[in-house]
Amino acid sequence: MKTYTWTLSLLVATYCNAASVILKRANPSGIDVSHFQGAVNFNTAKANGVVFTYIKATEGTTFIDPEFSANYVAATNAGLLRGGYHFAHPDTSSGATQANFFLAHGGGWSSDGKTLPGTLDIEYNPSGAECYGLSASAMVTWIKDFSNTYHAATRVFPVIYTTTDWWTTCTGNSAAFGSTNPLWIAHYASSIGTLPAGWSFTTFWQFADSGSNPGDQDQFNGDMTGLQRLAKGS
């Protein structure tokens, strides 16, 4: 009986340790979407293993994504953690102006355990100069203006979505945000690759622009508990 009890305890301990390792390596799956995907069936995405989503809310100061509200409600009803993102146009207005536009049209945050901090999507200019005509120092100032304005309103810093190539080129590979802003790196490969200066790890990784679920395919760097902590602002 003693031998049996010891063996059972060992099996339970081994199972729990294994489960812990699996949980820590879970890397919860997510997607990011915009009006280009139309109305997304988040229940189907959830059944496919998706647990979080970022949804485009705004761009510059003139565009509100027409599918944002419907997709945000649908993601909420499906039980996903969700947040909004803003596509930046640093050449059209200040960082503070765009942060306030984002906050007014879906980019807000509350510590409810299901809302992810808003994301600043800062990347290649889709219709002009790669760095929007800004010097590296001016770009860093613009990003700080956006980030500080968002933080003042919500008490959390926005996630920064970018690529290492763009960040290096357009901010001079600034290390100014690594201690405050979570990083969401876009890199379509089998591994994350080199990160921008200041960050020793990425919080999110966009590893593909298509897959078994709608939109871009993402992964959280951690376990579900860590993702929930992020949603609570801790």
Respond yes or no: is residue 165 known to be catalytic: no
Respond yes or no: is residue 145 known to be catalytic: no
Q: Which residue shows structure tokens 């939109």?
A: 215
Task: Please pick, among 59, 65, 67, 121, the residue that the annotation labels catalytic.
Answer: 121
Task: Please pick, among 32, 59, 65, 216, the residue that the annotation labels catalytic.
Answer: 32
Respond yes or no: is residue 123 known to be catalytic: yes
Task: Please pick, among 91, 123, 145, 223, the residue that the annotation labels catalytic.
Answer: 123
Q: Which residue shows structure tokens 């059972």?
A: 8
Rounded distance, CA 75 to CA 86, Å? Answer: 18
Buried b (16+ CB within 10 A) or exposed e, 211-227: eebbbbbbbbbbbeebb
Cβ atoms of residues 202 and 222 within 8 Å: no
Start-end of H helices in 52-210? 68-77, 95-104, 136-154, 164-171
Rounded distance, CA 84 to CA 143, Å? Answer: 17
Rounded distance, CA 50 to CA 61, Å? Answer: 30
Which residues are annotated as catalytic?
32, 121, 123
